[in-house]
Amino acid sequence: MTLGATARNVTAMVIRDALAMVGAGLALGIPLALAARRLAAGLIAGLHVSLTLPLAIGAAAMIAVALLAAWLPARRAARVDPIEALRCE
């Protein structure tokens, strides 16, 4: 904020970073879950499980929790007085 960023820019940056981490986790986790399903179906005869709905609900829950977890610190970071932060450093 000292260099000209607005409170909105700071909030967006913190939330964007949190969503990038969740996106990376989902990009790794979903293929692993699909592979584990395939492995389990090969080990257990007659296992027919649909992963579409549980994966969608899990991904939506992860995104919602990440947004909530990032929004609170982002709001606090946007309220920091730049001069006070520079004095502490």
pLDDT, tens digit, 9 for 90 and up, residues 48-62: 777 788 889 999 999
Collapsing DSSP to helix, strand or coil, 32 comes out as helix
Half-sphere exposure (CA, 13 Å, Cβ side) for 7? 9
Longest dimension (CA), the chain: 66
Give the single-character DSSP code of 5: -
81: confidence class by pLDDT, cuts 50, 70, 90: confident
CB 47 within 8 A of CB 36: no
> Which residues are CB-neighbours of 7 under 8 A, at least 6 positions away?
1, 78, 79
pTM of the model: 0.72
pLDDT at residue 75 is higher than 70: yes
